[in-house]
Structure 1
Amino acid sequence: MTQVQLQQLQKQLWNIANDLRGKMGADEFRDYILGFIFFKYLSEKAVNFADALLADEGENLHYATLDTNNATHQDYIEAILENAIAEVGYALKPDQLFHSIALRARQGQFVLDDLTNTLKAIELSTLGAESEDDFAHLFEDLDLNSTKLGNNANDRNELVSKVISHLDNIDFDLSNTEADVLGDAYEYLIGEFASGAGKKAGEFYTPQTVSTLLAKIVTQGKERLRSVYDPTCGSGSLLLRVKREVKDVDMIYGQEMNRTTYNLARMNMILHDVHFAKFDIKQENTLTRPQHLDKKFDAVVANPPFSAKWSADPLFLQDERFSRYGKLAPSSKADMAFVQHMLYQLDDNGTMAVVLPHGVLFRGSSEGVIRQYLIEQMNVVDAIIGLPANIFYGTSIPTCILVLKKNREHSGNILFIDASNEFEKQKNQNKLLPEHLDKIVAAFEKRENIEKYAHVATLQEVQDNDYNLNIPRYVDTFEAEAEIDLDAIAKQLQALEHDSQKIDAIITDFCKELGIASPFAEVK
């Protein structure tokens, strides 16, 4: 599939999504359209798997055409279902396939009950299997009885039938192993929803260019990772971006507090063909109920909610994630708490990159104590990258990326990069372009002083600045104004005065000819 064809697919899906748009808000209709797309993906994957098994048996049969009332076909179906649960993690009967339900919808049949029962059947098929946790309650946000879809059952059925019929006509090209066509389209839709979701967007989506930057940082010099972890994973897009930057990631871990977003993250993993045995996404509050605390990770990435509130309960001073610092992040700003949590889970040879508000670089009190400990005692702060303002959904504040490593190659200095002026201004938001991204990555890799852009600061410099990491203290981006030639300005003013007097004289002569008083006549 060419780039043009991919863009056409993305627009098709967005147009179908807008069939629901008039009924509900962006964050609500997102859950329905992405859920339907995910169900279609599961169906097509199930068909491809089943048809491959049938072909291996030498049977000229196609799974979608098998009849559950035919005894011979029933034997095939049962064998396929058993294999499917073990291999792909779930099972669908021929009459439960997306295409089968879409055909009935086109014929004017009432399909809401069939859809509801099928989605439940997918979850039930995984009970007792290794994939059970990854599919549990996965479709709970697709409430087909919601009045948001229509005031009565027939209206809801008409709208849903229209949407799934349109989706049924689109080829997701799952057989194309060279490109993640559907994955790219799914990411596009998530991004489009984020742009219209206001403040809620930050809960589930990190702009793609920022995700790519974080991914390139934590994978620098590596071809594969044993593990990657995001403690505030949202839709999982950042984790998937890390996976794209290397040949393989053995295991993907994430945690997300919001239930709906947690479901979206699991769907996103499966839809990007991440095997159910290769990801572990949990739903809980990371700071108060961490779910992977027994593990250390090669790469840790995150875009936590900026300056979120947390309990800062003194009991956390006994928690091994926070105890060594002697201070907790303030209850009004959990930014440093996320840093401490992530650093605790980082492997000795791993890299961590986290997006944070600029305040963490210079705020005092307990945050200042934690920051000094990170630099002076642990020496884990490797780089600070300043990003432009207004590039994140839901907030216009400027942000930065903290890069931390436990065993630093450049242990005697900290790299500062000021990329705050590197962006393209768009209608409602600033955007990092690929060339801006390339410039940041190049500066990060070279680790050299670049006038008005990057500075390699010694630890002594940082100490002399009282462990304040505010980027302008290290990268001077001041542009001196051009010197003003006062003599030249004086001559220009004299010339203007001379010209003004000539014009006044001409106007006075005109007034004499007309027999009227000159406006420049001397008042007596």
Structure 2
Amino acid sequence: MAAEQKQKLEQQLWNIANTLRGKMDADDFRDYILGFIFYKYLSTKMDLYANEILKPDGLTFQEVEGHSDEALLMQELKSLAIDKLGFFLEPSELFSELARRGNAGGKNNFILGDLAKVLTHIEQSTMGTESEEDFGNLFSDLDLTSHKLGKSESDKNELIVKVLVHLDEIDFDLENVDSDVLGDAYEYLIGKFASGAGKKAGEFYTPQQVSSILAQLVTVGKDKLKSVYDPTCGSGSLLLRVAKEVKTVNAFFGQEMNPTTYNLCRMNMIMHDVHYKRFDIKNEDTLERPQHYDMRFEAIVANPPFSANWSASPLFMNDERFSAYGKLAPSSKADFAFVQHMVHQLDDNGTMAVVLPHGVLFRGGAEGHIREYLIKDKNYLDAVIGLPANIFYGTSIPTCILVLKKRRENPNDILFIDASQHFEKVKTQNVLRTEDIGKIIDTYKNRSTEEKYSHLVQTQFIVSQDYNLNIPRYVDTFEEENTIDLKVITDELRELAIFGKATDTTIADFCEELGIERPF
């Protein structure tokens, strides 16, 4: 039943999103529709919570406005809501009320000004409180004055009212505390937008199939986590995926450089009912200005931007994240800088899993030096997993996953898995199936060896290979070609020649009979 409900909600929300689709590009209508869904979510949470508080008094939230004790009741409700929910809305500011006013009498009633004030008030209601950072500027990407919504104010208002009215008709079923149907539907929408966003998709979304692998890798043998961290958290989908693999995650931490994506991540956390006190997402450049520098995390997952530029400033040689290695990752390829950063943040009993381009496995220079330090000096590398090409949005390059631990259960070997040929082609994209993901995880858990798929390699042998981790060196996927019998081929060619001559003779006879010139 939950699956049907989820599918229905996803389709309803996508249909409403398409109301905006013809008006603007994917990035813009994504921000508007996700923002409005989030506003409705907050309104519904506020309404449900206020009604629960007021029930002993025989009041509903709507009845507070105009009540003889309105000021006192409103003050008490705000205090309780700020602590419990992290924000506050008045009855007249609820989503359903704005939708009703905008469509009252079936007319296009102007509400854009009121809507802008409400969204601002949500953010302002948290000022000076513990949740201020988590709600500040959340709606900054919803520009209700943008010409993208329409040429005239009336056109803009008509479009927004249309979206709000359609959204208001959908039951988010938030009373069902055991259901995360809305959170999953929100995640579905983010994925749909990513699939059509081309190269930009990599900035905010990791495909669920890859998220699932990373999440399962860092939770092997655990049913609860003290903390999970993603230094390039995008929309937060990877952090939330880790939570699906265990019973509880006490705290979520992340950093995201893009302000719009940072807002999306915080919305995504709240929409999945992660309390504001349980997540700490920062808007900054992770490598240049790390915001959780002194913290250590039990699980770390990441899909950093592939081979991104970074400053590689010599000043970083005094930074604990990089100083022990003796060399910095190249300024044109920050891949190993992210690895070094993650290793620095990893707790002694933790596991980290990071997606990287294949080049990190064999490129020389500083990257080769960093690989040597991680393997020879620290012995942190636990597994190397090769993924199929063309499974990420916006790039077709093959990728790999590095799994690292500070306390390895198997310190004398490293597991190599070549999963590059195990996928299904769907249209133009390669997709990892459930069985492909299961095979990777089972192989990692059991550290099993399978011909042409996985191999346990002694660390000393990797030393002899000059710390080159290129997977074909360790997992032989060579397929022998069938033996060719040259005598059989010669006989077949001779028979074809004889048949050709007979055909030429037949054609010549027909041409002579018809009185036309032969073609040869």
Q: TM-score range by the shorter chain?
A: over 0.9
Q: Is the 8 Å Cα contact of residues 312 and 331 (structure 1) preserved in structure 2?
A: yes
Counterpart-to-counterpart distance in 1, 2:35 and 2:518: 82
Deviation for aligned residue 1:509: 4.6
Q: AA paired with 1:62?
A: T
Kindly indicate whether residue 82 of structure 2 is the aligned counterpart of residue 81 of structure 1: no
Deviation for aligned residue 1:75: 4.1
Deviates more, 1:103-112 or 1:365-374: 103-112
Q: What is the aligned length?
A: 517
Secondary structure at the residue paired with 1:101?
helix
Flag structure 2 segments of 5+ consecutive residues without an equivalent.
Answer: none
4+ long deviations beyond 6 Å: 515-520
Counterpart-to-counterpart distance in 1, 2:408 and 2:6: 41
List per-residue Cα deviations over 1:456-503 (Å, max 9, x = no partner). Answer: 111122111110001111111111111111111122122223333333
Q: Which residue of 2 aligns with 1:96?
A: 93
Q: Is the 8 Å Cα contact of residues 227 and 297 (structure 1) preserved in structure 2?
A: yes
Counterpart-to-counterpart distance in 2, 1:406 and 1:211: 22
Deviation for aligned residue 1:425: 1.2
Question: Are residues 52 and 516 of structure 1, via their aligned partners in 2, closer, same or farther at CA, if it must alter by over 3 Å?
Answer: closer
Flag structure 1 segments of 5+ consecutive residues without an equivalent.
Answer: none
Kindly indicate whether residue 189 of structure 2 is the aligned counterpart of residue 192 of structure 1: no
Q: Is the 8 Å Cα contact of residues 66 and 73 (structure 1) preserved in structure 2?
A: no
Kindly indicate whether residue 212 of structure 2 is the aligned counterpart of residue 209 of structure 1: no
Secondary structure at the residue paired with 1:281?
strand
Q: Is the 8 Å Cα contact of residues 413 and 458 (structure 1) preserved in structure 2?
A: yes
Deviation for aligned residue 1:519: 6.3
Question: Are residues 156 and 370 of structure 1, via their aligned partners in 2, closer, same or farther at CA, if it must alter by over 3 Å?
Answer: same
Q: Which residue of 2 aligns with 1:490?
A: 490
Alignment match of 1:106 (pick from 86, 103, 111): 103
Deviation for aligned residue 1:396: 1.1
Kindly indicate whether residue 412 of structure 2 is the aligned counterpart of residue 412 of structure 1: yes
Q: AA paired with 1:111?
A: I
Q: AA paired with 2:68?
A: A
Q: Which residue of 2 aligns with 1:122?
A: 122
Q: AA paired with 1:252?
A: F
Q: Which residue of 2 aligns with 1:68?
A: 65
Secondary structure at the residue paired with 2:250?
strand
Q: AA paired with 1:125?
A: S
Question: Are residues 503 and 151 of structure 1, via their aligned partners in 2, closer, same or farther at CA, if it must alter by over 3 Å?
Answer: closer
Deviation for aligned residue 1:66: 1.6
Q: Which residue of 2 aligns with 1:40?
A: 40
Q: How does 1:416-427 map to 2 (within 5 A)?
A: 416-427=416-427
Q: Which residue of 1 aligns with 2:133?
A: 133
Counterpart-to-counterpart distance in 2, 1:507 and 1:470: 59
Deviation for aligned residue 1:34: 0.4
Secondary structure at the residue paired with 1:384?
strand
Q: Which residue of 2 aligns with 1:16?
A: 16
Question: Are residues 472 and 117 of structure 1, via their aligned partners in 2, closer, same or farther at CA, if it must alter by over 3 Å?
Answer: same
- TM-score, normalised to structure 2, is 0.97
Q: Which residue of 2 aligns with 1:54?
A: 54
Kindly indicate whether residue 476 of structure 2 is the aligned counterpart of residue 476 of structure 1: yes
List per-residue Cα deviations over 1:95-122 (Å, max 9, x = no partner). Answer: 1000011100111321111111111111
Q: Which residue of 2 aligns with 1:177?
A: 177
Q: Which residue of 1 aligns with 2:306?
A: 306
Deviates more, 1:207-216 or 1:484-493: 484-493
Q: Is the 8 Å Cα contact of residues 2 and 181 (structure 2) preserved in structure 1?
A: no
List per-residue Cα deviations over 1:306-333 (Å, max 9, x = no partner). Answer: 1110111111001011000000001001
Q: AA paired with 1:261?
A: T
Deviation for aligned residue 1:167: 0.3
Q: Which residue of 2 aligns with 1:390?
A: 390
Counterpart-to-counterpart distance in 2, 1:175 and 1:27: 31
Q: Which residue of 2 aligns with 1:372?
A: 372
Q: How does 1:141-290 map to 2 (within 5 A)?
A: 141-290=141-290
RMSD over equivalenced CA pairs, Å? 1.5
Q: Percent sequence identity over matched residues?
A: 62
